[in-house]
Amino acid sequence: MKNGLERLSRRDSIKLAAAAFAAAAIAPRLAFADEKAVAAEIKKLYGDKAMGQGRIKLDVPEIAENGLVVPIGVEVESPMTDADYVKAVHVFADGNPQPGVVSYQFTPACGKASAATRMRLAQTQNVICIAEMSNGDLFSAKANVKVTIGGCGG
């Protein structure tokens, strides 16, 4: 023993490497959400309620060279008064393991319905944003983000 750690023999190292390779080979592939999963999540929140277009500015890059840190900005047009404001904004991605990415809650005291964060995208996919207004109206916006592999367009 050296410093309390036992040194692995060559045979043990090979066995350990073989076991790790076998585990990786038989491990189930991570399941990803799809358009149906996103639609199901939206339906769970809002049923079959109609959604309008416009009012949402969804700021995501067309091409993300690093899917680990994709910036996203959301801004919803609203006077943000007691009578008319954005209640919630939900962001979904149809190619990630979970369809829901982030949700924001707003009140008239916010003054502006905008938020920004970074998200992880597993592959090229659609990013969908739903804004719920205080009067119950819904608005949606959608953008496709191409995730490249090492910035090479993969």
CA–CA distance from 49 to each of 43, 130, 137, 142 (Å)? 8, 12, 9, 17
pLDDT score recorded for residue 111:
94
pLDDT score recorded for residue 151:
47
Residues 29, 143, 137, CA angle at the centre, nearest 5°?
Answer: 110
42, two tokens = 């939206």
pLDDT score recorded for residue 55:
95
pLDDT score recorded for residue 27:
44
User: Can you list the domains of the chain with their CATH numbers?
Assistant: 35-147 (2.60.40.2470)
Beta bridge partners of 102: 91
Residue 137 identity (one-letter amino acid): D
Query: pLDDT in tens for each of the 154 residues of the chain?
Result: 455 445 667 777 676 666 665 555 544 445 677 889 999 999 999 999 999 999 999 999 999 988 899 999 999 999 999 999 999 999 999 988 889 999 999 999 999 999 999 999 888 999 999 999 999 999 999 999 999 865 444 4
